[in-house]
Amino acid sequence: MKVFLVLLTLGAVAAGGWFYYQKSRVQSTDAGYRTAAVQRDTIVQEIRATGTVEPIKEVEVGTQVNGRILQLYVDYNSAVTTNQIIAQIDPAVYEATHAKDRAQLKSNQANVEQMAAKLSFAEKDFVRKTELAARNMLSKAELDAALAERDALAAQLKVAEAAVEQSQASVKLSKTNLDYCTIRSPVNGIVIARNVDEGQTVVSSMNAQQLYQIATDLSRIQVSASVPEADVGLIRTNQPVSFTVDAYRDTFRGTVRQIRLAATTVQNVVTYPVIVEADNPGEKLFPGMTANIAIEVARAENAQLVPAAALRFTPTNLVSEIQGPKVWLLGTNGVPEALGVKLGISDGTRHAITSPDGLEGREIVLGFKTNGGAAPSGPKNPFMPTPPGGSQSRTARRAMR
């Protein structure tokens, strides 16, 4: 019995000592936590990508005829208007062809007049012979010959008229080719590329040879960006976009105009073209510039915000049964308390907490402090070399073990 009482007393003393040790250990870490207050602010979630500045409309001006370039009337950066003459191809061959076709047309028209006159005479002759045959003054064979002559001349007249129509088509074609020797601008815009020189011979075969590239009014431009398939589901038309280019420090604003379905796969990464339309003040943005865009896909006003490090923090001396996202709030006794939360949007460094409400001003634990000062938030790689004179943290040593 005495032995039992002694063992019971020793157990009670050990339990009290362990409780006192744990309490003093937790309290001793009160000054060992890095914390931040829950704040309310506006948070914006963005998708970032890289794109290329392009004209909203770009026209390639080519030639449909062959010949030598006699003169170029515009050059790089020239402003042009619709139907303005921008180049001239040697028209000599096409002028000769057009003149020959017009002469052939006149010849065929004269042949029609000749056939018409012969047909008129044959019809009158047939009428006379019909009257004579009615009075038995002409044989039936002569009457039939007159009828055949009239019908043959009527058919020849139709052939001559068809030849006239054919000649008219030839004249129209040769006139069109002659007009093609004078190259005109199809749109109002600015010349951004010239691909020929004066004196050069151009040959148009299956495809029209390109002479110029003309961009429409550059007061508005578009940015074509490639967005990965993991992010493209968050993008919608008319979402606001901000972007920068290396040439300027300005931030330009635009909106999403189109999400194209033309997927591209590069090294097993699927991307989709997203077209952003924006103003180009002072026409500072040039076609071909690289744009770093940020598409605003979500925004929350007056949201409860916590640093992302708070969601990554896992204390080594405390255990929580809460499943899912949680944060650790610093209690009044200096001991962290786990709290399950429902997350909203994130901007990469902060998260919005949509539930529970009323956390503003509460101290939230970000991580442990070290003797040398605040430790970086989030997990630490145990295999990173320790700075000279320093020592690894308790978490790193446990991870290595």
- Taking only the tens place, the pLDDT of each residue in 75-125 is 999 999 999 999 999 999 999 999 999 999 999 999 999 999 999 999 999
Residue 305's pLDDT is 95
Residue 334's pLDDT is 83
- Taking only the tens place, the pLDDT of each residue in 227-273 is 999 999 999 999 999 999 999 999 999 999 999 999 999 899 999 99
Whether the predicted pLDDT of 6 surpasses 80: no
Beta bridge partners of 221: 55, 278
- The two beta strands, 182-184 and 85-89, are antiparallel
User: How much is the mean pLDDT over the chain?
Assistant: 85
- Taking only the tens place, the pLDDT of each residue in 323-351 is 889 999 988 888 899 999 999 999 989 99
Whether the predicted pLDDT of 204 surpasses 80: no
Residue 18's pLDDT is 54
Give the C-alpha separation, 243 to 223, whole Å: 9
Beta bridge partners of 332: none
Residue 319's pLDDT is 85
- The two beta strands, 201-202 and 67-72, are antiparallel
In Å, what is the CA distance from 91 to each residue of 119, 195, 197, 267, 272?
Answer: 42, 20, 17, 52, 47
Asked if 341 contacts 329 with a C-beta cutoff of 8 angstroms, the reply is no
Residue 318's pLDDT is 83
Name the pLDDT band for 16 (thresholds 50, 70, 90).
Answer: low
Give the C-alpha separation, 272 to 264, whole Å: 6
Whether the predicted pLDDT of 61 surpasses 60: yes
Q: Worst-scoring range by mean pLDDT, 27-36, 126-135, 190-199, 369-378?
A: 369-378
- What DSSP character marks residue 104? H
The answer to whether the bond into 336 is cis (omega within 30° of 0) is: no
Name the pLDDT band for 133 (thresholds 50, 70, 90).
Answer: confident
CB neighbour class for 134 (10 Å; exposed up to 12, middle 13-18, buried from 19): exposed
Beta bridge partners of 15: none
Name the pLDDT band for 44 (thresholds 50, 70, 90).
Answer: very high
Q: Worst-scoring range by mean pLDDT, 36-40, 189-193, 208-212, 298-302?
A: 208-212
Asked if 74 contacts 184 with a C-beta cutoff of 8 angstroms, the reply is no
Question: Which stretch, 284-298, 314-328, 381-395, has highest mean pLDDT?
Answer: 284-298
* pTM score over 0.85: no
Residue 26's pLDDT is 43
Give the C-alpha separation, 165 to 162, whole Å: 5
* Tokens 């339309």, residue located: 277
Mean pLDDT (whole number) for 185-207: 88
CB atoms closer than 10 angstroms to residue 146: 20
Residue 4's pLDDT is 57
- The two beta strands, 189-194 and 209-215, are antiparallel
